[in-house]
Every structure is written in C-alpha cells, then in structure tokens.
C-alpha cells in the first residue's frame, strides 16, 4: 500500500513540481472527494427549495467572482464593469436561445465567447493605461453597456426583457432547482479546475508577474498587452457563462440587475473572499449572497412588524449600508479576506496544541 503523505514540519521541497502540486497531502484529495460526494449526493436532496435557490445563486456568483479574481487578484487590473459583462452574457445567451434557437449546451459557451469579445474591447485601454485610469475606463464600460442593453430595443427588447425557452440538456428538460443545481455546480467544478490549472501554467505565472511589477515583467520578456487582453477575455468569458446560466435559471431577464451595484457586489466578493485565491472567490460568493439573503429576510421580518411598517422602504436601504460596512470592515481588518481566515484556522488545527 502507498504511504500516506502528511504535512511536513517545514519546507523540504526539492523540485519545482513539488511546489506546483495542488494537493499537498493525500488527505486533501480525500477531503475533496468527500466534499464532492456530499455536494452532489446529499445537498440537493435535503435542502428546501428556497435554500437550493440560494445555493444555486451562490454557484453562479462564484463562477463570476472567479473570473473577476483572475482579473483583479491575479493580474492586478481593477475592473468596475464586471456586472455589465454578466449582463452581456445573460443577454447573449437569451438572444442566441430565442432568435437563433441555440440549444442550451451551445448557448452557454457561445455567450461566454461573445462576452469575452466584448470584454476584450473594453480591455483595449489597458494597452496604454494602468491603475486608476484603467479602473475609470471600465467604469465607463459599465455605464455604456448598461445603456446599450436598455436602449438597443430591436435586439434586447429594452425594458420589456426577454423570456427564455426551457433549457434542455441531453434530452432532459431542466425544470426545477435541483436540475439546475447539477448543471451550475458541474460548471463551477469545471471552471475551478480550469482556473487552478491556468494559474499553474506560464499564462497564470505571467499574470502574477504583471500584477507584481509590470515593468519588470515586460523587462523579462512578457508581452504585457496581449496578456492583459487575455486576462480580460478569460475573466469576461467566465462572466458570460455565469450570466447566461443566470438568464436560463431566471427564465426572464431585464437589464435592471446588471448595474454598477452588481459590479461592486462582485468586487466585494473578490475582496472579502481573498484577492488572488481561488477558494477565496467561492468563500466571497457564499458570504455576499448569504449576507444579501440574510439582510433581505431581516428586512422582511421588520416590515411585517406593525411598529416598523411605516419605514418599509427606508429599511431596505439599510441593506446597502450593511453591504458597504462589510466591505470597509474587511479591508480595514482582514484585507486578505476569508481565505486568509480559513488558512489561519486550518494551520491552528494542524499545529494544535503547539501552535507556533
């Protein structure tokens, strides 16, 4: 029998491949299998429909957040337009499905590709700009895309929105939340697998080099502009996939949700989860969607109480406040996000009782 690997007491790595390894110990692999079994075998059968809806939304958000993390966390390009790219993906999926009759399995990746193209267009300014200027360019992208989605009525039907046909995959119709759960989470697992591996290849390392010091990266022979565009297109591809899944799941879409506040929400996910951390993107999505739902049910609870009924509308605005507060507190007290907290907890367990 193979000898199980445990965590060594120090860093005894001798070859580069050991450093690149995804699972440091066999337990990591074991936990992954157990986790996947629980996720796919138990979760969809014990959750209530509402909980399953929340879990599905979290999965979609996690796909989008992972894309944004590639852009912000790994390449260091701050984008305020991710919400609009999700919208482009949603509309691309909806238009492909209704106008051109694309089947579900084809509409999702095509929507991703279209969004990647749009993302590259708005990534063009990154050839000359960096830092603050690029952020402002993506802000402009967000507002322009929002405008186009609302006003290009012959294509997007404006404020009427688009209603999608029922999705079907391999001859089965995806009707209830459980069907979508499997689709969304299979995509999420695939996306995570791809992302982890992109980051181990030369592309991922080039992204990190650009983030850490773009001039030095260029000096070492990394063509910065193509790589920045690549980061933009990968990130928008994920956004497009997330958006089109969202459109199919919601059945009908309008341009309203894809506003600047959605972009801020995604950035919040990435920051709260942990910049430059793949599990962090998932933690962030769980945190933000959870917080959103928690605040929503709290508002509903307050609004049902006779004392607060008069403040109904105003209480909803406290959600925005709590949201901002969460971002501010994380930046001030744990800028590395939930991923760092998770790492600390894990290492405390591992080293217990001699935690130094």
Using CB under 8 A as the binding rule, the residues of this chain from 268 to 287 that contact another protein are: 268, 271, 275
Q: Which is nearer to another protein, 139 or 199 (CB)?
A: 139
Residue 256's CB is within 10 A of a number of other CB atoms, namely 13
* Beta-strand runs (E) in the chain: 162-163, 168-169, 172-173, 252-253
Phi, then psi, of 48 in degrees rounded to 5: -75, 160
Q: Which is nearer to another protein, 30 or 155 (CB)?
A: 155
Partners of 83 in beta bridges: none
- 318 contributes a contact to another protein by CB under 8 A: yes
DSSP 96-142: HHHHS---HHHHHHHHHHHHHHHHHHHHGGGGT--THHHHHHHHHHH
- 223 contributes a contact to another protein by CB under 8 A: no
- Residue 217: closest CA among 79, 75, 66: 75
- 125 contributes a contact to another protein by CB under 8 A: yes
C-beta of 21: minimal distance to another protein in Å? 28
- 96 contributes a contact to another protein by CB under 8 A: no
C-beta of 146: minimal distance to another protein in Å? 8
Cβ burial of 178 (10 Å; 0-12, 13-18, 19+) is middle
Kindly write out the interface string for residues 148-187 of this chain, putting x where it contacts another protein by CB under 8 A and - elsewhere. Answer: ---x------------------------------------
Helix ranges restricted to H, 126-223? 132-151, 153-156, 177-198, 202-212, 214-219
Tokens of 289: 């969607």
Contact 234, 77 (CB under 8 A): no
C-beta of 331: minimal distance to another protein in Å? 5
Kindly tell me which residue out of 67, 141, 273, 280 binds another protein, with binding defined by CB under 8 A. Answer: 141
C-beta of 352: minimal distance to another protein in Å? 31
Interacting residue ranges for another protein, rule: CB under 8 A: 72, 76, 78, 124-125, 128-129, 131-133, 135-137, 139-141, 143-144, 147, 151, 215, 218-219, 260-261, 264, 267-268, 271, 275, 313-315, 317-328, 331-332, 335
């Amino acid at each position: 029998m193979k000898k199980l690997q445990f965590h060594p007491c120090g860093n005894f790595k001798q070859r580069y491949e050991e450093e690149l390894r995804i699972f440091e110990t066999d337990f990591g692999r074991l936990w992954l299998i157990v986790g996947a079994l629980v996720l796919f075998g138990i979760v969809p059968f014990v959750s209530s429909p509402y909980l399953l809806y929340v879990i599905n939304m979290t999965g979609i958000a996690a796909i989008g957040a992972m894309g944004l993390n590639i852009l912000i966390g790994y390449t260091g390009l701050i984008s305020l337009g991710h919400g609009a790219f999700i919208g482009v993906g949603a509309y691309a999926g909806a238009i492909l499905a209704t106008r051109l009759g694309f089947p579900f399995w084809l509409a999702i990746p095509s929507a991703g590709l279209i969004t990647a193209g749009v993302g590259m267009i708005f990534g063009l300014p990154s050839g000359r700009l960096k830092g603050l200027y690029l952020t402002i360019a993506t802000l402009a992208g967000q507002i322009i895309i929002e405008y186009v989605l609302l006003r290009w009525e012959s294509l997007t039907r404006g404020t009427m929105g688009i209603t999608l046909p029922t999705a079907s995959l391999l001859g089965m119709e995806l009707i209830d939340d459980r069907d979508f759960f499997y689709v969304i989470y299979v995509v999420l697992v695939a996306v995570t697998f791809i992302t982890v591996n992109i980051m181990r290849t030369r592309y991922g390392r080039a992204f990190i080099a650009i983030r850490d010091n773009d001039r030095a990266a260029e000096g070492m022979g990394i063509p910065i502009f193509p790589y920045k565009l690549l980061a933009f297109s990968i990130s928008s591809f994920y956004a497009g996939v997330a958006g089109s899944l969202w459109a199919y799941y919601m059945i009908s879409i309008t341009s309203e949700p894809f506003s600047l506040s959605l972009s801020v929400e995604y950035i919040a996910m990435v920051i709260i989860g942990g910049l430059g951390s793949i599990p962090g993107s998932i933690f962030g999505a769980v945190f933000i969607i959870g917080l959103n739902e928690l605040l929503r049910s709290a508002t509903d609870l307050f609004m049902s109480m006779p004392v607060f009924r008069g403040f109904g509308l105003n209480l909803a605005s406290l959600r925005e406040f709590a949201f901002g507060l969460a971002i501010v507190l994380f930046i001030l007290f744990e800028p590395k996000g939930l991923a760092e907290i998770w790492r600390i907890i894990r290492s405390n367990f591992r080293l217990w009782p001699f935690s130094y």
